């Protein structure tokens, strides 16, 4: 262990899991550990740029499809329109998000041709219920 590694990793005595400091406050690290290189907490990638909250609508072997709704203002009609955004994100084994989960995804370097986001945290189901209610309300 050299000095650089010691500085960038926090040793948690209770769970004996090495977790990186990802530089964003208020985000809980996962309880499990993994050997995935493309994991924010245990691998080599870093988060920079945008962070979104969305619902997992499709979970594949190593990636998930996350969907969320946003408002866009239309000046001509002085009203808001709802637009849907779908983003593919890498799903590290320590988080293992399933279909229907609400997750936080963060922008990172391109991990493959179409993936440049990674799942940071699985949010508790209470928050997921609120998001679901919101998106249903927007559809009407
Ligand atoms: Zn991990």
pLDDT at 7 over 80: no
Give 14's DSSP letter: T
Q: Is 132 helix (H, G, I), strand (E, B) or coil?
A: helix
Position 129 scores a pLDDT of 47
Q: How far is the CA of 89 from the centre of ligand 1 (A)?
A: 14
- Is residue 114 within 8 A of residue 38, CB to CB? The reply is no
Please, what is the average pLDDT of the chain?
A: 82
Which residues surround the ion ligand 1 when the cut-off is CB under 5 Å? 34, 39, 41-42, 92, 94
Q: How far is the CA of 9 from the centre of ligand 1 (A)?
A: 13
pLDDT at 10 over 80: no
CATH numbers and ranges of domains, the chain: 3-139 (2.40.50.1000)
Tokens encoding 84: 């849907």
Phi (first) and psi of residue 80, to 5 degrees: -100, 145
Q: How far is the CA of 57 from the centre of ligand 1 (A)?
A: 21
**Cβ of 108: how many Cβ atoms within 10 Å?**
20
Q: How far is the CA of 40 from the centre of ligand 1 (A)?
A: 7
Q: Which residue has the higher pLDDT, 21 or 75?
A: 75
Across the range 111-133, mean pLDDT stands at 76
**Cβ of 22: how many Cβ atoms within 10 Å?**
16
**Cβ of 38: how many Cβ atoms within 10 Å?**
20
Q: Is 137 helix (H, G, I), strand (E, B) or coil?
A: helix
pLDDT band of residue 128 (cuts 50, 70, 90) is very low
Q: How far is the CA of 82 from the centre of ligand 1 (A)?
A: 34
Q: How far is the CA of 42 from the centre of ligand 1 (A)?
A: 5
Across the range 21-28, mean pLDDT stands at 82
pLDDT band of residue 1 (cuts 50, 70, 90) is very low
How many percent of the chain have pLDDT more than 70?
A: 76
Q: How far is the CA of 38 from the centre of ligand 1 (A)?
A: 8
Position 21 scores a pLDDT of 80
Concatenating the DSSP letter of every residue in 84-124 gives: EEEEEEE--TTT---TT-EEEEEE-S--SSS--EEEEEEPP
């Amino acid at each position: 262990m050299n000095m650089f590694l010691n500085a960038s990793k926090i040793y948690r005595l209770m769970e004996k899991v090495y977790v990186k400091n990802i530089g964003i406050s208020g985000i809980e690290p996962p309880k499990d550990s993994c050997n995935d290189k493309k994991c924010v907490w245990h691998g080599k990638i870093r988060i920079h740029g945008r962070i979104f909250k969305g619902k997992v609508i499709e979970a594949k072997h190593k990636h998930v499809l996350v969907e969320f709704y946003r408002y866009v203002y239309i000046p001509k009609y002085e009203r808001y329109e709802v637009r849907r955004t779908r983003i593919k994100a890498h799903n590290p084994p320590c988080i293992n998000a399933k279909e229907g989960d609400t997750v936080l995804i963060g922008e990172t370097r391109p991990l493959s041709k179409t993936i440049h986001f990674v799942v940071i945290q699985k949010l508790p189901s209470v928050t997921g219920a609120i998001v679901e209610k919101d998106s249903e309300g927007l559809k009407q």
